[in-house]
Chains A and B, each alone.
Chain A
Amino acid sequence: MSQETEMPTMTAVPEAKPASSEWRAWLETHGPRLLLFARQQTRSPEDAEDVLQDAIVKLVEKIRNDEFVGGPEAWQPYLYTTIRRLAIDLSRRDDRRKRREDSVGAAEGEAQTEAFHPWFESESSDDETRVQLESKLKELPGKFAEVIVMKIWGERTFAEIGETLGISQNTAASRYRYGLEALKKSLGGARRRGDLSI
């Protein structure tokens, strides 16, 4: 194994920025990956946005009341855990409600809604791949998909994922590998046809 290094660069982070612009920058950076996780955890784009908003509000309330231990680097583990818990609560409420409601046509409506709210950024050059990937990721069992989303797009470690899900880091790693293998197999057909570059 060889290694190359370049000169480090050191930059002072500007002080006393207006709070709103710092929040905006933080939301622009971390919002998409948190929303992706919320979408994976919930049944509709609207639910995902509600869950993300509730999680952010809970975080802000803790910060406002000086109850949150740690700085911004500790927010993400908290937010992933909160999003998951809120999504589970919402799912239970929905299950009770749906037993009382007529659900005819609901699946078609959900499919149409999803088409207008893609999980990933759309680039015309690779749009077919994105569509296939998103579709297969949604078909994966949730316990695999959630680890993949947190690991790849949330850039969480297996230890952090284990903490969020209440499992060991080895179990998180196993689910990740199972999930990637399953994703690879399900994408196999598209890859053979030349639709995929993965």
Chain B
Amino acid sequence: MSFDPTSLEAELRKLSPSTPSDSLLARLEGCAEASWAELDPMEIQRESRLRSFAPARLSPALMATLESAVRDVPFPGNVKIVAFPKHAPAPPANTRSWWSAAAAVAILGASAALLIPAGKSGMPPSANVQTSPRPAAAPAQLVPAGFNRGLSEASDEGVIWSDKRPHRVLKVVYRDQVTLRDAEGKTYQVERPRVEYIVVPAKTD
């Protein structure tokens, strides 16, 4: 008994793969555009509400157990800093360390920018720098040791009308933290609260 697959193949070819759903297409598009891992304001708001429920604290017994486990180990510092060479070394086999140094300087510059509040009065940058509060004994050669863009809260501020369309206003409050370390190993934390208002088109019935 022989089996001829031709007719079966013809029947199968008549079937069309179903169209992906809109949500799957949106997901694939987001992945392709590298935006899928970014939350929209509504998702940030929902996340913020859930985060308001704090995880239960450790019981005293568990805390005591964990403390006994770490008792003999000193709490380490944040980062190990590779110092810039004081004298010109022999040409290295590769230039990677210098690229790293350049990157560190760039990060330091970005961190310093955080220290300077955005100008609102139209004054020249130098005037802004003079008016910003600086610590009395700000140490030189601060090296960034950490950065945390802390989202502290998000809230729905209601609906406004703009361009004859309703828009929802969302308030997102961040608390950026930069940790800096000086040559002596002392660490400093710079904290800058920041508020963003995000306006998104609102759905109407």
Residues of chain A contacted by B67 (CB below 8 angstroms): 20, 23-24, 27
Residues of chain A contacted by B189 (CB below 8 angstroms): 10-11, 13
A183 CB, min distance to chain B CBs, angstroms: 8
Interface digits, A28-44 against B, CB 8 Å rule (1 contact, 0 not)?
10011101100000000
Give the contacts of A132-156 with B (CB-CB under 8 A). Answer: 133, 148, 151-153
A149 to B76, alpha carbons, bound, how many Å?
27
Can you name 17 A-B pairs with beta carbons within 8 Å? Answer: A3-B196, A3-B197, A4-B194, A6-B193, A7-B117, A8-B191, A10-B138, A11-B191, A23-B67, A23-B73, A31-B62, A63-B73, A71-B79, A121-B53, A121-B57, A129-B53, A170-B36
Q: Is the CB of A32 within 8 A of B132?
A: no
**18 other contacts beyond A4-B196, A17-B75, A180-B46, with CB at 8 A cut-off?**
A3-B118, A5-B194, A9-B190, A12-B135, A12-B186, A12-B188, A13-B179, A28-B58, A31-B62, A35-B58, A56-B66, A63-B73, A64-B72, A71-B76, A152-B47, A158-B37, A197-B49, A198-B46
Asked if A57 lies at the interface with its beta carbon under 8 angstroms from chain B, I say yes
Listed in ascending order, the chain A residues whose CB lies under 8 Å from chain B are 1-13, 15, 17, 19-20, 22-24, 26-28, 31-33, 35-36, 49, 52-53, 56-57, 60, 63-64, 70-73, 117-122, 126, 129-130, 133, 148, 151-153, 157-159, 169-170, 172-174, 177, 180, 184, 197-198
Q: Is the CB of A3 within 8 A of B194?
A: yes
Interface digits, B193-204 against A, CB 8 Å rule (1 contact, 0 not)?
111111100000
| Partner among B46, B188, B190, B199 whose Cβ is within 8 Å of the Cβ of A1 | B199
Q: Is the CB of B27 within 8 A of A174?
A: yes
| Partner among B43, B56, B188 whose Cβ is within 8 Å of the Cβ of A180 | B43
Residues of chain A contacted by B115 (CB below 8 angstroms): 8, 10
Residues of chain B contacted by A120 (CB below 8 angstroms): 53-56
Residues of chain A contacted by B62 (CB below 8 angstroms): 31, 35, 49, 52-53
B142 CB, min distance to chain A CBs, angstroms: 10
| Partner among B31, B50, B57, B77 whose Cβ is within 8 Å of the Cβ of A32 | B57
Beta-carbon nearest neighbor of A181 in chain B: B23
Beta-carbon nearest neighbor of B170 in chain A: A1
Residues of chain A contacted by B138 (CB below 8 angstroms): 10
A28 to B79, alpha carbons, bound, how many Å?
21
Listed in ascending order, the chain B residues whose CB lies under 8 Å from chain A are 27, 30-31, 36-37, 43, 46-47, 49-51, 53-58, 62-63, 65-67, 69-80, 114-115, 117-118, 132-135, 138, 145-146, 179, 185-199
Beta-carbon nearest neighbor of B132 in chain A: A7
Residues of chain B contacted by A60 (CB below 8 angstroms): 69-70, 73
Knowing A12-B186, A13-B189, A120-B54, say if A170 contacts B31 (CB, 8 Å): yes
Q: Is the CB of B50 within 8 A of A71?
A: no
Q: Is the CB of B58 within 8 A of A32?
A: yes
Residues of chain A contacted by B53 (CB below 8 angstroms): 120-121, 126, 129-130, 133
Q: Is the CB of A5 within 8 A of B192?
A: yes
B46 CB, min distance to chain A CBs, angstroms: 7
A9 to B36, alpha carbons, bound, how many Å?
34
